A and B are shown apart, each in its own frame.
Chain A
Amino acid sequence: MKTENQKAWFFVLPVLILVAFNALIPMMTVVNYSVQETFGNNQFFWEGLTWFEQILRSERFHAALGRQFLFTGLILAIEVPLGIAIALSMPRSGPWVPVCLVLMALPMLIPWNVVGAMWNIFALPDIGLLGYFVNHTLGIDYDMTQNPLAAWVTIITMDVWHWTSLVVLLSYAGLVSIPDAYYQAAKIDGASNWSVFRYIQLPKMKNVLTIAILLRFMDSFNIYTEPFVLTGGGPGNSTTLLSIDLVKIALGQFDLGPAAAMSLIYFAITLFVSWLFYTLMTKDDLN
């Protein structure tokens, strides 16, 4: 349709101003650092795209990015099906509903650094309940401070414990919004439980699942506090995810230029993958 006048711009103006203040202006600082070099004293030297090139070619960045994708991929692969399964097994009505909902919401109410500290102590082989149990009762060698695999198992388990609830609650909201008539119709058709899930529940949950996957992707891709408190990125660099590496560069080494460039690349990847997810998952509706 042809644009009749430009009035609509005035209606989006407040949003533009808001976005400018909470996103664009702070981000310009980062953009500013990403193309300059500073040695303090408020002196800046133009560097162009040097930092971007350096980061994109850096093996350290590639490794952190790989770990980041592995982490996000693993937790999505576990939390989404697990969340749906738990939501499916929750009662749809009755006195147990509020109990289940509160139990589900509890992990999400705990502050991130507390979660990290909790799991750190929980998993310690000598004093932690989990660590002691696995090492001494099960007899499996498990020490997340020494063994990279143990560290990975711990951060994945921690994230699953902390965030599966989000998928559960969103899926559950989608499930309870399905009228009984659909279940009755399926029963009358003689449909199996799998068909009911595949042809009624899953399509009806699709919108909330899209949101759940997007939120879980963004949160887990930008995760910092919990693994930092739990493993500090170790042992070695084995659990140094992107944000942990970024903070090391920015505050540990005080390389502001490369850190700024890395931030922007990080941001671009998050944005691109989110867009990709969203487009793929809503493709069906647009046709």
Chain B
Amino acid sequence: MALVLKDITKVVQGETHIKPTSLTLETGQFNVLLGETGAGKTSLIKMMAGLDPIASGTVEMDGVDVTSLSTQKRRISLVHQFFVNYPHMTVFENIASPLRVAGMAKSEIEARVQEAADILQLSPMLKRRPHELSGGQQQRCALARAIAKDSQAVFLDEPLANLDYKLREELRELLPELFAGRGAVVVYATSEPEEALLLGGKTALMMDGSVAQYGPTAEIYRAPETLTAAMVFSDPPINHAAVQKTGDMLTMGDVRWNVSGDAAGLQDGDYIVAIRPNHILPTPTERATVPLSGKIGVTELSGSESSAHFDMNGLGWVSLSHGTHPYEIGETHTFYMDADACLFFAPDGTRVA
């Protein structure tokens, strides 16, 4: 089964919100839509669900053109960022509601609700109302409703965004198990690069209403086609700067280093170099050898990682390393960059090495 989008666009009052987009989303894996708020993830999902009108192009589900089919008639599920449940129904009735609408037999409904509730650990709460549940339980109820239904496509629009850290991890681990073997196309929208990497599958990077790149998640992370794609798929943001190549030397401001790897094949000239913060470390290692001196600005400690924003003559970069490092704000610190991890882009943003 597959969900195929062919050149779909969304136009609101003469303004193009989604530029012509073509994607083939398949079953058996997570299809992640990754992009910042406003990149068009939710719009794209609403268009696929039939909730928002499509200006041009077609949507096919399992080989059938569903572009003009109403939402009510499509076999789909949607889980929102907000916890959406029917307020005056019990958890059981909530999970059962789409099945009842579909006119399923009572015994079948009970079996399906029970199964969904078991997977999502909701069995003890089937008789409660949504407002008597915690946020995590409410979202599990919404997820249970989505899986109990026999859908061709399941859309998850930042389903974990409003949950606290622990619950998010818990539910995220549960997600692959939830949809394994159901035969539905799973589309998962998120604004967090880390979440995309954890879910694996394929990722479509979204930016300004269009898909910048689509492919296996790990591959896109390793080899972004454009600077834009690299920027979307990096948290903290990817460091980038203008660089000149002359012979086998690279010059970035007053930092110079020997060219290595693919970049060696580049013609002399101006490029943009980009490097992920985790390849810039506070101490030299076998790989991280190119010294970068900068004045420490903001520093952040998060559990086992520490990040430092530093300033090199007006160029603000970030370093992200394991362990805790006692940076002092305002001091000049020398970081070391792993030159082999550098990505090179032409001035127009396409990757060259």
- Which residues does A use to contact B, with CB under 8 Å? 179, 181-182, 184-185, 187-192, 195, 199-200, 203-204, 284
CA distance A134 to B347 in the complex (A): 81
The reply to whether B98 and A181 contact each other, CB–CB distance below 8 Å, is no
Chain A residues whose CB sits within 8 angstroms of the CB of B102 once the complex forms: 190
Chain A residues whose CB sits within 8 angstroms of the CB of B86 once the complex forms: 199-200, 203
Count, chain B residues at interface, CB 8 A:
24
Instruction: Identify which of A181, A191, A284 contacts B84 (C-beta below 8 A).
Output: A181
Known pairs A190-B73, A191-B72, A203-B87; A184 contacts B51 (CB<8 A): yes
The reply to whether B88 and A185 contact each other, CB–CB distance below 8 Å, is no
CA distance A179 to B81 in the complex (A): 12
* A-B interface contact total, Cβ < 8 Å: 54
Chain B residues whose CB sits within 8 angstroms of the CB of A188 once the complex forms: 49, 51, 71, 74, 76-78, 98
Chain A residues whose CB sits within 8 angstroms of the CB of B78 once the complex forms: 184-185, 188
For chain B residues 218-262, which have a beta carbon within 8 Å of chain A? none
Instruction: Identify which of A181, A189, A192, A203 contacts B88 (C-beta below 8 A).
Output: A203
Q: How far in angstroms is the closest Cβ of chain A from B220? A: 29
Q: Which A residue sits closest to B101, measured CB to CB?
A: A190
Interface check B333, CB cutoff 8 A: no
Instruction: Identify which of A182, A187, A191, A284 contacts B51 (C-beta below 8 A).
Output: A187
Interface check B325, CB cutoff 8 A: no
CA distance A255 to B254 in the complex (A): 104
Chain B CB within 10 A, most for which of A179, A188, A191, A204: A188
CA distance A190 to B78 in the complex (A): 12
Jot down 30 A-B pairs with beta carbons below 8 A, ordered by A.
A179-B82, A181-B80, A184-B71, A184-B78, A185-B78, A185-B80, A185-B84, A188-B49, A188-B51, A188-B74, A188-B76, A188-B78, A188-B98, A189-B97, A189-B145, A190-B72, A190-B98, A190-B101, A190-B102, A191-B101, A199-B86, A199-B89, A199-B97, A200-B86, A200-B87, A203-B86, A203-B87, A203-B88, A204-B87, A284-B88
Q: Which A residue sits closest to B46, measured CB to CB?
A: A184
Chain B residues whose CB sits within 8 angstroms of the CB of A182 once the complex forms: 84
The reply to whether A189 and B82 contact each other, CB–CB distance below 8 Å, is no
CA distance A187 to B84 in the complex (A): 13
Chain A residues whose CB sits within 8 angstroms of the CB of B80 once the complex forms: 181, 184-185
Q: How far in angstroms is the closest Cβ of chain B from A152? A: 37
Chain B residues whose CB sits within 8 angstroms of the CB of A187 once the complex forms: 51, 70-72
Q: How far in angstroms is the closest Cβ of chain A from B141? A: 12
Q: How far in angstroms is the closest Cβ of chain A from B49? A: 7
CA distance A181 to B102 in the complex (A): 21
Which 8 residue pairs are nearest across A and B when measured between Cβ atoms? A189-B98, A203-B88, A187-B71, A190-B101, A185-B84, A190-B72, A181-B84, A181-B80
Q: How far in angstroms is the closest Cβ of chain A from B229? A: 30
| Known contacts A184-B78, A188-B98, then 4 further A-B pairs from the complex at CB < 8 Å, ordered by chain A residue | A184-B71, A188-B49, A191-B97, A191-B101
The reply to whether A195 and B101 contact each other, CB–CB distance below 8 Å, is yes
Chain B residues whose CB sits within 8 angstroms of the CB of A181 once the complex forms: 80, 82, 84
Q: Mark B40-80, 1 if CB is under 8 A from A, else 0.
A: 00000010010100000000000000000011111011101
Chain A residues whose CB sits within 8 angstroms of the CB of B73 once the complex forms: 190
Q: Which B residue sits closest to A185, measured CB to CB?
A: B84
Q: How far in angstroms is the closest Cβ of chain B from A187? A: 4
CA distance A185 to B98 in the complex (A): 10
CA distance A190 to B87 in the complex (A): 17
Q: How far in angstroms is the closest Cβ of chain A from B78? A: 5
For chain B residues 93-116, which have a beta carbon within 8 Å of chain A? 97-98, 101-102
CA distance A200 to B84 in the complex (A): 11
Q: Which A residue sits closest to B85, measured CB to CB?
A: A185
Q: How far in angstroms is the closest Cβ of chain B from A144? A: 43
